[in-house]
């Protein structure tokens, strides 16, 4: 057994840089050396400090918001702390001094009861409202249309373990509870959530719900949308408790209408979510496969079996070569040269883990895997949240770096990987900046899997324009292959056009009808998810 992520603290991200300001990553000499092959010279591009334009909120609007009892601020610092999220375009805009998406007002309720009055005040005062949870958005979900003054509703004051049902293994958590705080509260009662998205250190329970977050233990504990059994939602037309049972045949599953709704239909104030007892045993292994095809075939076999591990991920040859699964040692070779690293983890009581470990290990060996022992698995586990920390120093060194992800059925995985890789390398290569594209599979299902891409190239003088060309090409490749535009990053504003193409007119009509019924004045996150 190893130490658990539940002991990690909540991290307060600073505007414009990912992660814990007190614990940044630095690029090793081997990484800096590798970057020169892409023409990246390590020279830091110029930056401009952003300063928001004056708030457009009227005194009357501010008074109405204050009357709700929630905190209200128009201070520049507060507004900058709620400026967009942490996509590379967001970071590049920040570095360029672009504060144009800053909310006009930041409202900080201290209780769920203040949310409905805030919604009413916004409706009455002609304001729009964008729910703000962990702030770790990467698809423009915090940058709504600005035709009216924008309120950022920061939910991080609505926290806590409201209820724990140890028999049903259900926790009711306030929406603003950060994931590390949720784990700490649960662990005091003998339970865990086990939800570890890459944004774990900052993300909130409510944010995970409305964006359909997927955590690194998704094969073991499920996606967040599979873990949720109930939601408390405040909409402009009233509040609702959604979900009365684990599963039901009582009409459509309306939990799945609000999960993924990105604040466009209502504000989630509490989430009832499945938890599990603190595992007695945790085992993480590394396995080596000769190539991505062999590794992904083995993953498919496990995903289509009844006996599965708790964690399963596979880095392709490029990502394995750069050792991105162990960010602290990125660029340093470790283990076998060439091929692909798979991480396989088990959590549970001893009998359960022994049973699954025995079955899974035998299958992986049959399917061509070479057992690497616990060290690579443990290295991944310890460094699992550090990967995104590399992005800021890479940008500082003159690189353009971004990630994107998609999901498709197994029979389409190879085509999708090839098409997206070709789109990214083509679109960047045509701009004179050859790119390295790496990929991993970190979420698998019986019928398919996600693909997560990391792309690095030399930054041009306008890196935002450079990236948007590449992103557009990747989006087209994803849709061309019939895959979904996002597996776990949500739609926001950035994916909206591609999303509308994905769902088509009939489904859009259904969503717009829901939006119009629940939010008739269009207060909630206008332009996010839906046009």
Nearer to its own copies, 65 or 518 (CB): 518
Count of residues touching its own copies (by CB under 8 A): 100
List the one residue from 136, 235, 315, 442 that touches its own copies (CB under 8 A).
235
Confirm or reject binding of residue 352 to its own copies (CB under 8 A).
yes
Minimum Å distance from CB 334 to its own copies?
30
Helix (H, G, I), strand (E, B) or coil at 63: helix
The secondary structure element, H or E, covering residue 308 is: none
Residue 284 annotated in ligand binding: no
* 8 A C-beta contact, residue 241 and residue 257: no
Q: How far apart are CA 116 and CA 133, in angstroms?
A: 17
Query: CA torsion 83→70→202→263, rounded to 10°?
Result: -70
The secondary structure of 443-491 as a DSSP string is: -B-SSEEEEEEEEEEEPPSSHHHHHHHHHHHHHHHHHHTT-BS-SSS--
Nearer to its own copies, 73 or 211 (CB): 211
Catalytic residue among 221, 389, 452, 499: 452
Binding segment toward its own copies, per CB under 8 A, in 27-35, 65-73, 404-412, 418-426: 404-412
Of 245-284, binders to its own copies (CB under 8 A) are 245-262, 265-266, 274, 276
- Closest to 390 in 3D by CA, of 323, 451, 442: 323
Binding segment toward its own copies, per CB under 8 A, in 23-31, 75-83, 161-169, 378-386: 161-169
**Which residues touch 84 (CB under 8 Å, ≥6 apart)?**
90, 93, 94, 101, 137, 140, 142, 143
Minimum Å distance from CB 206 to its own copies?
15
List the one residue from 358, 373, 480, 531 that touches its own copies (CB under 8 A).
358
Is 285 an active-site residue?
A: no
Of 95-134, binders to its own copies (CB under 8 A) are none
- Closest to 96 in 3D by CA, of 84, 106, 105, 107: 84
Instruction: Tell me the β-bridge partners of 344.
Output: 285, 312
The angle formed by the CA atoms of residues 232, 272 and 238, to the nearest 5 degrees, is 5
Of 370-399, binders to its own copies (CB under 8 A) are none
List the one residue from 489, 493, 524, 525 that touches its own copies (CB under 8 A).
489
Residue 266 annotated in ligand binding: yes
Nearer to its own copies, 258 or 389 (CB): 258
Task: Give me the 299-328 binding string for its own copies, x by CB under 8 A, dash otherwise.
Answer: -x---xxxxx-x------------------
The secondary structure element, H or E, covering residue 381 is: helix 374-383
Of 186-215, binders to its own copies (CB under 8 A) are 211-214
Binding residues for FAD: 262-268
Residues annotated catalytic, as ranges: 452
């Amino acid at each position: 057994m190893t130490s658990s992520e539940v002991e990690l603290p909540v991290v307060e991200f600073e505007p414009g840089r990912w992660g814990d300001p007190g614990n940044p990553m630095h690029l090793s000499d081997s990484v800096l050396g590798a970057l020169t092959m892409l023409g990246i010279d390590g020279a830091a591009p110029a930056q401009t400090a952003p300063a928001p334009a004056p708030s457009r909120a009227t005194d009357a609007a501010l008074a109405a918001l204050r009357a709700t009892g929630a905190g209200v601020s128009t201070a520049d610092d507060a507004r900058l702390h709620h400026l967009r999220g942490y996509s590379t375009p967001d970071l590049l805009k920040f570095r360029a001094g672009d504060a144009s998406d800053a909310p006009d007002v930041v409202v900080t309720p201290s209780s769920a009861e203040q949310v409905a009055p805030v919604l009413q005040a916004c409706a009455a005062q002609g304001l729009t409202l964008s729910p703000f949870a962990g702030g770790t958005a990467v698809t423009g979900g915090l940058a709504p249309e600005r035709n009216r003054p924008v309120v950022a509703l920061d939910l991080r004051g609505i926290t806590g373990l409201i209820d724990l049902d140890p028999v049903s293994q259900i926790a009711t958590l306030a929406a603003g509870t950060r994931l590390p705080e949720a784990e700490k509260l649960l662990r005091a009662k003998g339970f865990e959530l086990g939800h570890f998205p890459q944004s774990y250190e900052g993300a909130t329970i409510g944010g995970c719900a409305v964006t359909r977050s997927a955590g690194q233990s998704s094969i073991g504990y499920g996606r967040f949308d599979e873990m949720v059994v109930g939601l408390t939602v405040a909409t402009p037309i009233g509040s609702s408790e959604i979900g009365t049972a684990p599963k039901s045949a009582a009409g459509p599953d309306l939990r799945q209408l609000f999960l993924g709704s990105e604040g466009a239909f209502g504000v989630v104030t509490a989430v009832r979510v499945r938890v599990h007892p603190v595992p007695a045993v945790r085992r993480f292994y590394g396995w080596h496969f000769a190539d991505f095809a062999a590794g992904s075939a083995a993953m498919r076999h496990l995903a289509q079996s009844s006996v599965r591990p708790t964690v399963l991920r596979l880095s392709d040859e490029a990502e394995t070569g750069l050792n991105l699964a162990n960010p602290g040692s990125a660029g340093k070779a470790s283990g076998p040269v060439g091929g692909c690293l798979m991480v396989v983890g088990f959590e549970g009581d001893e009998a359960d883990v022994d049973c699954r470990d025995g079955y899974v290990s035998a299958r992986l060996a049959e399917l061509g895997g070479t057992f690497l022992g616990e060290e690579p698995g443990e290295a991944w586990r310890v460094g699992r949240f550090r990967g995104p920390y590399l992005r800021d120093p890479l940008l500082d060194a003159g690189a353009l770096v971004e990630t994107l992800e998609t999901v498709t059925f197994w029979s389409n995985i190879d085509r999708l990987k090839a098409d997206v890789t070709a789109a990214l390398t083509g679109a960047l290569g045509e701009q004179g900046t050859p790119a390295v594209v790496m990929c991993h599979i970190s979420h698998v299902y019986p019928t398919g899997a996600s693909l997560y891409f990391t792309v690095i190239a030399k930054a041009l003088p306008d890196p935002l324009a450079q990236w948007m060309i590449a992103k557009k090409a990747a989006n087209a490749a994803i849709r061309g292959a019939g895959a979904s535009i996002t597996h776990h990053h949500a739609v926001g504003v950035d994916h909206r056009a591609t999303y509308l193409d994905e769902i088509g007119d009939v489904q859009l009509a259904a969503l717009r009808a829901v939006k119009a019924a629940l939010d008739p004045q269009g207060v909630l996150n206008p332009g996010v998810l839906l046009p």
